[in-house]
Amino acid sequence: MAETLAELYEELKDCKRCPLGKTRTNLVFGHGNEKADLLFVGEAPGHNEDIQGKPFVGAAGQLLDKLLNSIGLERSQVYIANILKCRPPQNRDPLPSEIETCKPFLSKQIEIISPKVVCTLGRFATQVILDKNISISKVRGKRFEGNGHYIFPIFHPAAALYRRTNLDDLKADFLTLKELLSSKVDELPQKEEGSEQLMFF
Ligand code: URA
């Protein structure tokens, strides 16, 4: 089993475990700092990401960079991954079978990086990571317990490109994110295997 991101990438780079392996241009493994305290999880690569093989390289990515800069962070200090590593044709929603196939690799990335905060971007990533069918508007800006890290859902930056109110909420949630990142390591949640996820308000 892979113990580093480089080893995990070797396991995944020629992936044909689901049909997206046939239609992608590049697999988008994830990018950033292997020792990051902050790991973002998006939905799936779009057109630009598929071409370049890197996550969040389009307009949503530029906004993500600005939001990071607003709390004194650079992209090189964080890690960015997606639920799916390959682009669904025409950017359609990921299928349950694709998520099931790809999720163990994201779980392994989270385990290797061991961040303080897993920040889920938008409804899709949030529902998959929390394993709950919930509305992003209800949970954004709230912290949840993961195993050794917090889970912090926020709007997807692409949603904020179209709605000013979403952008205001995103900016506010980044300030909360900054506070969460300053939590001491011994304050981070340690869940027992199989225990319920607790929610903090
Ligand atoms: N949207 C996502 O969810 N992920 C990307 O990598 C790019 C856009």
pLDDT in tens, 52-96: 999 999 999 999 999 999 999 999 999 999 999 999 999 999 999
Per-residue confidence band for 1, with pLDDT thresholds at 50, 70 and 90: confident
In the chain, the largest separation of any two C-alpha atoms, in whole Å, equals 44
34 part of a folded domain: yes
Binding site membership of 42 for ligand 1 (Cβ less than 6 Å): yes
11 part of a folded domain: no
105-161 pLDDT, tens digit each: 999 999 999 999 999 999 999 999 999 999 999 999 999 999 999 999 999 999 999
For the domain that residue 106 is a member of, what is the CATH number? 3.40.470.10
CA of 26 to the centre of ligand 1 (A): 14
15 part of a folded domain: no
Whether pLDDT at 97 is above 90: yes
7 part of a folded domain: no
Determine which residue's CA is closest to atom 7 belonging to ligand 1: 56
Binding site membership of 30 for ligand 1 (Cβ less than 6 Å): no
Is 31 within 8 Å of 41 (Cβ atoms)? no
183-193 pLDDT, tens digit each: 876 777 876 65
Query: Distance (Å, rounded) from C-alpha 4 to C-alpha 1?
Result: 9
What is the Rg, in whole angstroms, of the alpha carbon atoms belonging to the chain? 16
Q: Which domain holds residue 100?
A: 21-182
- Tracing tokens 């307009």 back to the chain, one arrives at 59
Residue 193, pLDDT score: 59
CA of 98 to the centre of ligand 1 (A): 16
Residue 192, pLDDT score: 61
CA of 188 to the centre of ligand 1 (A): 28
CA of 3 to the centre of ligand 1 (A): 25
Residue 201, pLDDT score: 37
31 part of a folded domain: yes
Query: Distance (Å, rounded) from C-alpha 116 to C-alpha 77?
Result: 13
What is the torsion angle, in degrees rounded to the nearest 10, for the CA atoms of residue 11, residue 96, residue 123 and residue 70? 10
Phi, psi (deg, nearest 5) at residue 126: -65, -45
12 part of a folded domain: no
Is 45 within 8 Å of 87 (Cβ atoms)? yes
What total of structural domains would you count in the chain? 1
Residue 183, pLDDT score: 81
Binding site membership of 49 for ligand 1 (Cβ less than 6 Å): yes
- Its pTM stands at 0.94
